[in-house]
Structure 1
Amino acid sequence: MSSEALTARAGIDMARVRAWLPAYGVYVAIVLLVLYNIFFTPYFLTWSNLRIQLIQVAPIVIVALGMALVIGTEGIDLSVGSVMALAASLIPLYLGYGVVGAILVSLLAGLGVGLVNGTLVARVGLQPIVATLALFVGGRGLALVISGGQLKDVRNDNLIFLGSGDLFGLPVLVWIAAVLVLIVAFVVRRTVFGRRLLAIGGNRASAELAGLPVQRVLIAVYVTCSVLASIAGLLAVARIQSSDASAVGLLIELSAITAVVVGGTPLTGGRVRVLGTVAGALLMQLVVATMIKHNLQPSTTEMVQAVIILIAVYVARERKTR
């Protein structure tokens, strides 16, 4: 075989690798990391360790699902952590009316924040990063005002069961996250709303010219993202059995964006990889857990996470360019 043929064949193979990497690279990374931990991390395969990892990643998955929908429209939502804090601050205030009432109030708070974000983006025309940055700051401030800046204990067996109970051998928290994953995947793949969402992210101007209800879809997407963040916030309260508005959801927006990007959803919109988002959250959780178990400094963990993000963004950029 001539050198030109070998070069051409190598080029074809590299092209296939570049096309395959953004979609499936995260799964390969998870497999490699799991294999590493099996051989080099003591007690990695114990049920107690796996349970802890699942419980810790579940809230990130829930928030990342909403973030994936927003990024699919070529947007961003920096307020999800503040929404979690706001939902957490409301739980102790309304728990006296019953756990259902407290949950509904926290979800309504998320719905309200989503309406504000969606309206600012869709109707006022603000850039998503600017619109959500206001509530990124103001939302947590409001949560601190509501809670009086104090940590409040939560003592309700029904609520605590959502965060600490088991169902068929798995934590209830994990079951809730799994159900939400299935719902979001169905919406994106099988509904008219999902197709409209992707069309808007692919080209908003064309979607408007085609007569799609762009404003309504965008508002619905931001509402969904905030409601999912509210769910994550109330589950965080149920798990730690206390409400701390200064700590609940702190910087989770960065973890959610990382999970979405690493999972293969491009920041340029037009595509949502739901299972990839879940895989991205699992990968980052495994990276953090592995480094903690091997006694590495938190600064090292953060640098490794930054490198993973840069690689994921670069790969997505290369794919978009092609």
Structure 2
Amino acid sequence: MAVERDPGRTSWPRRALAHPLFWPALTLLLLLLGNGALNPGFLALQWREGHLYGNLIDIGNRAAPLILVSLGMTLVIAARGLDISVGAVLAISATVAAWMIAGGEGAGSRLPMPLAVAAALAVAALCGLWNGLLVVRAGMQPIVATLILMVAGRGIAQLISGGQILTIYYPPYFYFGNGYLLGLPFSLFVVAAVCGLLYVALNRTALGLFVRAIGGNPLAAHVAGVPARAITIGLYVFCAFSAGLAGILVSSNVRSADANNAGQLLELDAILAVTLGGTLLTGGRFSLAGSVLGALIIQTLTTTIYSIGVPPQINLMVKAALVFVVMLLQSADFRASMRGLLRRRPAGGEMR
């Protein structure tokens, strides 16, 4: 006797395909395997001088600033917002830290390094507070409110630096972007710490539910007693804070602060990473793990383009093509339409 299948239960392949992280994870895996096929030593890891070396480690280290910014951008987008000033905030944070630390060659720090780092992060948080107040209190559209700081932010950074690239000669500061802890880059531990704190805040408290409620229906959330305005401002503050933290890593890694070029187009990469990870731009549904995967995809793609000798001028075109394909694969409507098209075609290839 034939056993009827429960219509309420689906097979594990279908559940896997429907999982929001499936396509980003598959994309990252295919990129890594493709690099491994083109370059047999690409996936190799080596332990030298107490450190772990390899392309995979380099990708994670270079993606760390983008991951931090993407995490903050994820929460802002989840609440139906947008922050296109993160690149400028990164430049401001890096410039403040470099200005407070930079001395002559061979000289020590102008001010204590903990004070310089704290000041840079505090300035970044103030930038986020400014954005949040413009959105919540002044009622500006998020893209317009953050566009103001996006334009003015680099001017502020250039005023701080006097229009010059500030070179840092203080070795202890280099540890943030170039140091190692337990054999791994210190920047990876910074990312892990931020991810861990966000996981606890969003899954072990009511904050995650509040953010989803605000993104789903802000008015209904406000009527239900959710402090939507305060939470929204806090999300903009955290987004800018994460950009400021990324500025510390970037300036430490390159040992300088370039107010004009630091974080250039970072806001676009962050939005790409968030969308690749499955977060809805309309708010409500978000995935921090997806944003991390999206940032790793972008960095892996950039590494691939440079390693195979593709001219960097078409880097953005390749990124756009990848985003187009992945977003189509993530779209349930697109997959359903493709399945319907295939079902209408008989074995002979003619339409029914």
Aligned to 1:138: 152
Aligned to 2:90: 84
Q: How much has 1:319 moved relative to structure 2?
A: 6.1
Gaps of 5+ in 2: 1-6, 45-52, 102-109, 337-352
Alignment of 1:72 onto 2:78: yes
Code of the aligned partner of 2:195: V
Q: 1:64–1:277: 8 Å Cα contact kept in structure 2?
A: yes
Gaps of 5+ in 1: 1-8
Cα RMSD after superposing both structures: 2.3
Code of the aligned partner of 1:32: L
Equivalent pairs counted in the alignment come to: 311
Q: 1:89–1:243: 8 Å Cα contact kept in structure 2?
A: yes
Aligned to 1:29: 27
- Of the candidates 281, 292, 313, which is equivalent to residue 299 of structure 1? 313
Aligned to 1:5: none
Deviating runs (4+, > 4 A) in structure 1?
Answer: 15-19, 312-320
For residues 218-237 of structure 1, the aligned pairs below 5 Å read 218-237=232-251
Secondary structure, in 3 states, of the residue corresponding to 1:97? Answer: coil
Aligned to 1:176: 190
Alignment of 1:57 onto 2:63: yes
Q: How much has 1:173 moved relative to structure 2?
A: 1.1
Q: How much has 1:315 moved relative to structure 2?
A: 5.3
Q: 1:196 to 1:51 in 2, by over 3 A?
A: same
Code of the aligned partner of 1:25: W
- Of the candidates 255, 261, 268, which is equivalent to residue 269 of structure 2? 255
Deviations, residues 245-282 of structure 1 (Å, cap 9, x unaligned): 11211111111111110011111111220111111111
- TM-score scaled by length of structure 2: 0.83
Q: How much has 1:150 moved relative to structure 2?
A: 0.5
Secondary structure, in 3 states, of the residue corresponding to 1:269? Answer: coil
Q: 1:188–1:272: 8 Å Cα contact kept in structure 2?
A: no
Aligned to 2:173: 159
Secondary structure, in 3 states, of the residue corresponding to 1:124? Answer: coil
Q: 2:17–2:23: 8 Å Cα contact kept in structure 1?
A: no
Aligned to 1:20: 18
Taking the aligned partners of 2:120 and 2:158, their CA distance within structure 1 comes to 15
Secondary structure, in 3 states, of the residue corresponding to 1:135? Answer: helix
Deviations, residues 29-64 of structure 1 (Å, cap 9, x unaligned): 111121211121243123332232122101000110
Q: How much has 1:287 moved relative to structure 2?
A: 1.3
Deviations, residues 277-315 of structure 1 (Å, cap 9, x unaligned): 111111111111112111112233321211222344445
Q: Percent identity?
A: 36
Taking the aligned partners of 2:26 and 2:331, their CA distance within structure 1 comes to 20
- Of the candidates 94, 110, 114, which is equivalent to residue 100 of structure 1? 114
Q: How much has 1:231 moved relative to structure 2?
A: 0.4
Q: Max radius of gyration: which structure?
A: 2
Taking the aligned partners of 1:66 and 1:316, their CA distance within structure 2 comes to 22
Code of the aligned partner of 2:208: G
Q: How much has 1:18 moved relative to structure 2?
A: 10
Taking the aligned partners of 2:310 and 2:19, their CA distance within structure 1 comes to 28
Aligned to 1:202: 216
- TM-score scaled by length of structure 1: 0.90
Q: 2:16–2:22: 8 Å Cα contact kept in structure 1?
A: no
Taking the aligned partners of 1:64 and 1:126, their CA distance within structure 2 comes to 23
Taking the aligned partners of 1:117 and 1:38, their CA distance within structure 2 comes to 43
Q: 1:19–1:319: 8 Å Cα contact kept in structure 2?
A: no
Q: 1:151–1:242: 8 Å Cα contact kept in structure 2?
A: yes
Q: 2:23–2:326: 8 Å Cα contact kept in structure 1?
A: no
Q: How much has 1:195 moved relative to structure 2?
A: 1.5
Taking the aligned partners of 1:232 and 1:155, their CA distance within structure 2 comes to 19
Secondary structure, in 3 states, of the residue corresponding to 2:164? Answer: coil
